Structure 1
Amino acid sequence: MKYLKLTDRLLKIASLVDKDKRLADIGTDHGYIPVYLLNKNTIQYAILGDVNKGPLDNAKKEVMRNNLIDKVDLRLGSGIEVLKPNEVDEIIIAGMGGMLINDILKANEAVAHTTEKLILQPMQAPEELRMFLYKNGYKIIDEHLVREEHRLYEIIECKYEGLKEQDIEPIYYEIGQKLIEKQDPLLKDFIENKIRINENILRKLDGKDGDAVSHRKSIINKKIEELNNLLNK
């Protein structure tokens, strides 16, 4: 069988879904990941959710084209509010900002807290997402970096375990500890890119005065120092 070709980012996300699970893909867009996994017989069943009718219609067309309509449920609605507890085993929430993912998890804790695994891929504010997870009882199982064209994407596998609020160094909100522990092959590039971004911010602050500017410069300099320390571990 000729499988749907996924981008590197989507392919990596799909590879993290465990075999024979019931999957929900939230913000499914065209439904590419669940269609790919169903065609490979990796998963039993999928719920495809999207807050907008247009993307859900696109997903339905993809499902119909692949003759998978009996293995999916298409649901129009916000985030994981379209799900009931124990309807699925694993949930993908990908391609959204970290703050929005936080809001989605908070909006239906009955589902978020009972799911075997969450696969989260924030497009922005990953540090806000990690902070939320650490402070709200979630365990980060693993993290991954994937390169697609000129960008590095972060993917977080986690589950709710009711852990006490975890107090960690702020730099680990920005660079996931799991990435460091396993020395992800893309970690060096990832950290170097973070350093470049912060150095660019410093350059833009050159020639500006005031207490607020000085305070911001000192925070950025400290972050650059911490990033360099991680690079040299």
Structure 2
Amino acid sequence: MINLSKRLSMVASLLERGNVICDVGCDHAYLPIYLIDSGVFDKALALDINEGPLDKARDNIIKYNMESEIETRLSDGVRNLRTKETDALTICGMGGNVMIHIFEEGRDIIRDINQVIIQPQSEYMKLYDFLIRNGYSIDDEVATIDLDKFYFAWKIRYIGRNPQLLNAKLINLGFYYSEVLSEKRDEIYRKYLVSYYNSIEKAIETMKVNSPHNKRINILIKEMETIDKMLNQYYN
């Protein structure tokens, strides 16, 4: 069986048994190969916007004798995915802005998919706000550390109107604010908060020396206060 990175193992942990999985931004196709090999899914669609990653994916699909189970497609997001062609979707390793583009372009297709797991690399709060405002519920979240980097994955579901809009003050936070992981008392998320707190504390010290009137100092201080409240509320 193929060995997944901690990041992709985190994504796999959120998936339930299904028939077809579609992996957008498939890169080497490690995730769909693993999911089929482990019996979580029977078939897979591996999509990528570039031919290079698809060539690598095809090489691995042949290596693991899965030509009849996994189909590769050149596709910008889910543009070349047909309605109700898959019952699960993973979008991993992309920035939040790219994911927003994918959801905007493929809204009609994605809304009908039963399981949607995303793993953004950046712009967490902007993406989170976009999803909530466009009728998605974030049902679960998990976190991991892979090669000294923090990663988060969300299990989301389209529910139509979602009354739980984000507080406007949270949207522009520089760090990932997660009530779900906080309520779980997730230890990796605690480490993430402490790490971010320490990094902005150092940034403030540097700014006070080099640019004492920088308006960003007050913004960062407020972020530190938010993190401090979270740590005291959930982890003490």
TM-score by length of 2: 0.91
Tell me the equivalent position of 2:62. 64
Distance 2:228 2:140 in 1: 23
Unmatched 5+ stretches in structure 2: none
Alpha-carbon distance in 2 for matches of 1:204, 1:52:
41
CA contact (8 A) 1:171 1:223 kept: no
Amino acid at match of 1:88: T
2:185 match: secondary structure: coil
Alignment correspondent of 1:78: 76
Mapped partners of 1:14, 1:123: distance in 2: 17
Residue 25 of structure 1 contacts residue 92 of structure 1 at CA under 8 Å; is this kept in 2? yes
**1:115 Cα offset (Å):** 1.2
Contact 2:54 2:72 in 1 (8 A): yes
Question: What secondary structure does 2:128 align onto?
Answer: helix
Unaligned runs of 5+ in 1: none
Q: 1:33-83: CA deviations, max 9, x gaps?
A: 100111122102111000000110111111111111111221001011121
Kindly indicate whether the alpha-carbon contact (under 8 Å) linking 2:138 and 2:156 is maintained by their aligned counterparts in 1. yes
Residue 187 of structure 1: how far off its partner (Å): 2.1
Change (3 A) 1:81 1:159: same
1:231 Cα shift?
0.5
Residues 148-157 or 23-32, more deviating: 148-157
Please report the RMSD computed on the Cα atoms of aligned residues, expressed in angstroms: 1.6
Match of 2:50 among 49, 52, 55: 52
* Matched residue SS, 1:81: coil
Which residue pairs with 1:34 in the alignment?
32
Q: Is residue 2:192 matched to residue 1:194?
A: no
Q: Which residue of 1 aligns with 2:184?
A: 182
**Cα distance in 1 for residues equivalent to 2:185 and 2:19:** 29
Does the 8 A contact of 2:23 with 2:32 survive in 1?
yes
Q: What count of residue pairs does the alignment treat as equivalent? A: 228
Matched, 1:145 2:143: yes
Secondary structure of the equivalent of 1:69?
A: coil
Deviation at 1:155, TM superposition (A): 0.8
